[in-house]
Amino acid sequence: MSCDISADVFACYFPFLNRSASYLAKRGYVLESVLDDRDMVEKAIERVRRAVARESFNAKSCLDRPEEGAVVARLALYLAAATGSSHILRRFADYESKNFASLLDKIPGVQSPGCKIEIGKDLGIYAKPSQEVMSGIAVVQFPIAVRWSTYLKYAPQDPHWAMINRVVVRGWVLLPMADYHRLLEEAYEERILKTVDENELAVGKVAMKVDMSKLEDLVKKYSYKPLPQAPVAGGPDPPCMKAILDALKAGENLPHTARFAITTYLLKRGWDVEQIVDLFRNAPDFNEKITRYQVQHIAGKVGGRKEYAVPSCETMNSWGLCPTNLGCNVRNPLQYGKRVAVKKSS
Ligand code: SF4
């Protein structure tokens, strides 16, 4: 492998890669014996707590006891799933994937493009150095080329990531390193959630064997909070906004565009800033301070003091946020409720 780092330390930094799982299996770690180790279980509980509370990860711990760190991380994932709260699990996955992306920048042994391409391969991202696709000075700015099909699979739903805004050469999307890290982060988060789906039995064993009451307070604090009630005047919500609200209820990680759209919409429907901040509490990456500033910014109360308009249906569709493919006969989601109300009364 092109990564200049030992297998045990690598597994500790990136515990949810296939390579790390294989390494631990080869070293003889099995769930049953790990569950018998009280110390490991306590550390895994602590790891869930720290992840869900977004406390910083101590990367140095991976140099002291790397194998233990890797095992504890994988056990922590099963514990997060065993709480039965999809919000806790998603919050855990979000934290771990962000941590993963920040380590890509910090750990000297993984800095080479070759190592990062191998990490991508582990996650199902087909990439190669840009100089194999094109020549010239642009390869410095865009060192990684990603096959378009895997690019589309993991690119966030945001205009910045639309293929039209990218340099594409013979089916390869050329990326700056920071954007490649973001793709890896998305793929890593998906890997974490998939690991749970593929190991239901293991999650069940953890739920049976570990005293889950130790995580009860965490579940209470971070699980689903009923969404504040929207004022009913103005008619029903359009399918696009309803889909965003449903995704928030399910604790899904929404793209920036969806967060922006729902915020502008709810402000126009009469919600105040605090109600909207509360709405986002279910998001896996919720940060109260940042969310409040962003909502205030969109409401025109801070920053440039410009209140943003609700995106048009055309824009919503171009962002991939219109489930009816412009089928509501309105130009803006705000018009939907009034139109339905008029139809009903006629
Ligand atoms: S047509 Fe407009 S209102 Fe209807 S779902 Fe699409 S974006 Fe929303």
239 Cα to the center of ligand 1, angstroms: 6
> Which atom in ligand 1 lies closest to the alpha carbon of residue 332?
2
One domain for residues 301 and 262: yes
Question: Residue 240, annotated ligand binder?
Answer: yes
Model confidence over 336-346: pLDDT tens digits?
Answer: 988 776 666 65
Q: Is 261 in the pocket of ligand 1 (CB under 6 A)?
A: no
For 105, the domain range is 7-216
> Which has the minimum average pLDDT: 111-115, 121-125, 300-304?
300-304
> Which has the minimum average pLDDT: 229-233, 294-298, 299-303, 305-309?
229-233
241 Cα to the center of ligand 1, angstroms: 8
- In this predicted structure, the answer to whether residue 231 has a pLDDT above a threshold of 60 is no
- What dihedral angle (degrees, nearest 10) is formed by the CA atoms of 92, 84, 259, 336? 170
Domain with residue 191: its CATH number is 1.20.930
Residue 107: alpha-carbon gap to chain centroid? 22
Q: Indicate the number of domains in the chain.
A: 2
pLDDT of residue 284: 85
One domain for residues 57 and 154: yes
Question: Residue 62, annotated ligand binder?
Answer: no
Q: Is 324 in the pocket of ligand 1 (CB under 6 A)?
A: yes
Q: Is 199 in contact with 238 (CB distance < 8 Å)?
A: no
Contacting residues for 299 by C-beta, under 8 A, at least 6 apart: 263, 267, 273, 307
230 Cα to the center of ligand 1, angstroms: 18
| Neighbour-count burial for 109-122, b at 16+ CB within 10 Å, e otherwise | ebeebebbbbbbeb
CA distance 148 to 158: 16
pLDDT of residue 171: 93
Q: Is 283 in contact with 254 (CB distance < 8 Å)?
A: yes
| HSE-up of residue 181 (Cα within 13 Å, Cβ side) | 15
Q: Amino acid letter at 266? A: L
One domain for residues 136 and 40: yes
Query: Which residues, listed in sequence order, are joined to residue 128 by a DSSP beta bridge?
Result: 145
Max Cα–Cα distance, the chain, nearest Å? 73
pLDDT of residue 341: 65
Taken in order 240, 242, 247, 248, the sign of the CA dihedral is positive
Q: Is 239 in the pocket of ligand 1 (CB under 6 A)?
A: yes
One domain for residues 183 and 298: no
CA distance 280 to 288: 9
One domain for residues 19 and 100: yes
Model confidence over 319-328: pLDDT tens digits?
Answer: 889 999 999 9
Instruction: State which of 262, 269, 314, 316 you would mutate to test the pocket of ligand 1, scoring each by most atoms of that ligand within 8 A of its C-beta.
Output: 316
One domain for residues 159 and 291: no
One domain for residues 92 and 188: yes
Model confidence over 16-54: pLDDT tens digits?
Answer: 999 999 999 999 999 999 999 999 999 999 999 999 998
**Phi, psi (deg, nearest 5) at residue 318:** -70, -20
Report yes or no on 234 lying in a domain.
Answer: no
> Which atom in ligand 1 lies closest to the alpha carbon of residue 317?
7
One domain for residues 201 and 245: no
Is residue 208 very low, low, confident or very high in pLDDT (cuts 50, 70, 90)?
A: very high
Protein residue with its CA nearest to atom 1 in ligand 1: 326
One domain for residues 18 and 64: yes
Model confidence over 152-172: pLDDT tens digits?
Answer: 999 987 778 888 889 999 999
One domain for residues 183 and 316: no
Residue 324: alpha-carbon gap to chain centroid? 25
Report yes or no on 177 lying in a domain.
Answer: yes
pLDDT of residue 233: 61
CA distance 237 to 284: 24
Q: Is 89 in the pocket of ligand 1 (CB under 6 A)?
A: no
| Neighbour-count burial for 296-306, b at 16+ CB within 10 Å, e otherwise | ebbbeeeeeee
pLDDT of residue 338: 80
Q: Is 262 in the pocket of ligand 1 (CB under 6 A)?
A: no
Q: Is 236 in the pocket of ligand 1 (CB under 6 A)?
A: no
Is residue 229 very low, low, confident or very high in pLDDT (cuts 50, 70, 90)?
A: low
Identify the domain boundary among 216, 251, 280: 216
Report yes or no on 25 lying in a domain.
Answer: yes
Identify the domain boundary among 216, 249, 270: 216
Question: Residue 322, annotated ligand binder?
Answer: yes
One domain for residues 198 and 254: no
Q: Is 51 in the pocket of ligand 1 (CB under 6 A)?
A: no
Q: Is 146 in contact with 173 (CB distance < 8 Å)?
A: yes
Report yes or no on 231 lying in a domain.
Answer: no
The H-or-E segment that residue 146 falls in is strand 144-147
One domain for residues 26 and 160: yes
324 Cα to the center of ligand 1, angstroms: 6
pLDDT of residue 228: 62
CA distance 252 to 69: 27
pLDDT of residue 232: 53
